[in-house]
Amino acid sequence: MNITTPEKHASVRRNLGVKQSSGQWICFLDDDTIPTDSWFEVYKETLADGHAIVTGPTIPMTDSFQELLTDMVTTSPLGEGSLLYGRKDRAVPSFSSIYLCNCLVRRDVWESAGGFNEVADWRVDDTEFFYIALKKGFKPVIRQNFIVKHRRRGFFDGFLCHQGRARYATGMNTVLFPEIFLRIPGVVAMVAGILLLPLLVSSSFLLAAVAGLYLLAVIVDTLLNLLRSGPRACCFRYAMLPITRLLVQPYRGLFATMVRRRSYREVLAHKKERLRGL
């Protein structure tokens, strides 16, 4: 079956696909993922085990340096810190570590959660959906053999810039969905950074240390871009340095949304309806 729609919102497209399906299990993959042989074995076991939500790790599509570097950052606790890696098989993941690029969801989970949020920013989709599902008592499970190959963005080709945009959305959604996002360790660290700002300002040593580390990161990032793309490309394509964007964007999203909160009335009203009774 080939389903097409002009709608670009990912949640609308996913909900449409689910409504057109009829099976008990719904499989979510990205268009740049390929299931491994072990994925299908776990899928067959899942049908018999009766789990409500099953997820697992992803591995890089190729062994190129840039993809491997992106994967290292994605899976490191110092980077995105995906909690699926290295966890015991059949462990229970948190709602924020289940991604729609690789998961099985029983149909009654999707129905009980009310599908995916079609009103909010599409990047809230899996986080909000699995938060609601777990609050309603559905138990997820990690299967370490439930693996897909997932194409990574090149670290310097697009990953850093993509992360800047994603982090802006994180700041925005923290304001709109604080009851959800303030349960995520990385977001708590971001908010803690704001609270610690007066301490940094009051301590010249700490302020100088942070500024020095940041300046070093910017210099290294600039040199890498120069080596890769040359002076002309570096001046234009990297006018806003990726690392600068990566560090600043969450706070931009946070404060910009606080200022324009009234313009998100529809999103907030829809959220209240979806989270009622949880």
Q: Please name which of 190, 160, 208, 189 lies closest in space to residue 254, comparing C-alpha atoms.
A: 190
**How does pLDDT run across 101-133, given as a tens digit for each residue?**
999 999 999 999 999 999 999 999 899 999 999
What confidence tens digit (pLDDT) does each residue in 147-169 have? 999 888 887 767 777 777 888 89
* pLDDT for the residue numbered 248: 73
pLDDT the model gives residue 237: 42
Give the pLDDT score at 35.
Answer: 94
Within 70-163, strands assigned E span: 102-106, 140-142, 148-150
pLDDT of residue 242: 52
Q: Which domains does the chain have, with CATH numbers?
A: 10-150 (3.90.550.10), 155-274 (no CATH)
pLDDT band at 146; cut points 50, 70, 90:
very high
Tens of pLDDT, residues 174-232: 999 999 999 988 788 778 877 776 666 666 677 677 667 766 765 665 566 556 555 44
Per the listing, tokens 């809230």 go with 124
- pLDDT higher for 12 or 187? 12
pLDDT for 15-42, tens place per residue? 999 999 998 999 999 989 999 999 998 8
- Please enumerate, as own/partner, the contacts of 10-13 that have beta carbons within 8 Å and a separation of 24 or more: 10/116, 10/122, 10/125, 11/115, 11/116, 11/117, 11/118, 11/122, 11/125, 12/118
Contacts by 110-116, CB closer than 8 A, 24 or more apart:
110/18, 110/26, 112/136, 112/138, 114/274, 115/11, 115/14, 115/15, 115/18, 116/10, 116/11, 116/14, 116/15
Q: SS3 helix, strand, coil % of the chain, rounded to 5?
A: 60, 10, 30
What residues contact residue 154 under an 8 Å CB cut-off, 6+ apart?
64, 66, 67, 70
pLDDT in tens, 97-108: 898 999 999 999
The pLDDT confidence band at residue 235, using thresholds 50, 70 and 90, is very low
Over residues 29-57, mean pLDDT:
87
